[in-house]
Amino acid sequence: GLTDLELTLPAEKRGWLRAPRLRVESVFPLGVFRAWSWLDLEQSALIYPRPLSGTLPLLKGVQPHAEDDGQATQGAGVDDFQGLRSYQPGDNRSRLHWKAYSRGQDLLVKDFTDLSGHDLCLDFMALGGDIEERLSRLCYWVLELSQRHQPFALRLPGFLSTVDSGDAHRETCLRALAL
């Protein structure tokens, strides 16, 4: 007979994860004989950084192909109301949406973005922390902005994407973060 098997592997680091060589064995039907074989799956999966929320690490008004550094902004901005999102520890208490909470909804936070008519460029250098923490925060914002269908560029050492949105752009950025 046939049996479906789901193999779950722990990913300890980002990048390519190759499926290990598997030993498949059976003692069917009576348990008297043991049959086994090695199985090479010859498959791999690309492991992205673990998303980690934080402030929006961007350069204001950056042309994606320009070489200047622009000016880094801190925080999520105060100009344009983006909507409501779920509360996360560390969010500014002044932005809590108490009215929704009093109606029995989950604790929500008012989300603002300082767009000022400029393109968003997520910048690796605008973040503090070690490399993996920076990549995790950028991964969070790539996923978040993609979910909002908001165009953005991603700037990493040795990589600069164009300002774009959509599934292909998200996958390109996630691949750059993983590798």
Task: Please enumerate in sequence order all residues whose Cβ is within 8 A of that of 132, keeping only pairs 6 or more positions apart, or say none.
Answer: 14, 49
Is residue 40 in a domain? Answer: no
Is residue 85 in a domain? Answer: yes
Is residue 64 in a domain? Answer: no
Is residue 101 in a domain? Answer: yes
**Strand ranges for 114-157 from DSSP E:** 120-123, 152-156
- Tokens 């910048």 locate to 123
Is the pLDDT at 66 greater than 70? The verdict is no
Nearest to 57 by CA among 78, 71, 42: 71
Query: Whole-prediction pTM value?
Result: 0.61
Is residue 58 in a domain? Answer: no
Is residue 70 in a domain? Answer: no
**Share above pLDDT 90 across residues of the chain, in percent, rounded to a whole number:** 34
Is residue 89 in a domain? Answer: yes
Task: Please enumerate in sequence order all residues whose Cβ is within 8 A of that of 89, keeping only pairs 6 or more positions apart, or say none.
Answer: none
pLDDT tens per residue, range 72-119? 343 444 455 667 778 877 777 778 888 888 888 888 877 765 544 567
The burial of 81, by beta-carbon neighbours within 10 Å (0-12 exposed, 13-18 middle, 19 or more buried), is given as exposed
Task: Please enumerate in sequence order all residues whose Cβ is within 8 A of that of 10, keeping only pairs 6 or more positions apart, or say none.
Answer: none
Question: How does the average pLDDT of the chain come out, rounded?
Answer: 81
pLDDT value at residue 112: 65
Question: How many domains are there within the chain?
Answer: 1
Q: What is the mean pLDDT of residues 121-133?
A: 91
Are 64 and 160 in contact by the 8 Å Cβ rule? The answer is: yes
**Domain limits at 90?**
80-113
Is residue 142 in a domain? Answer: no
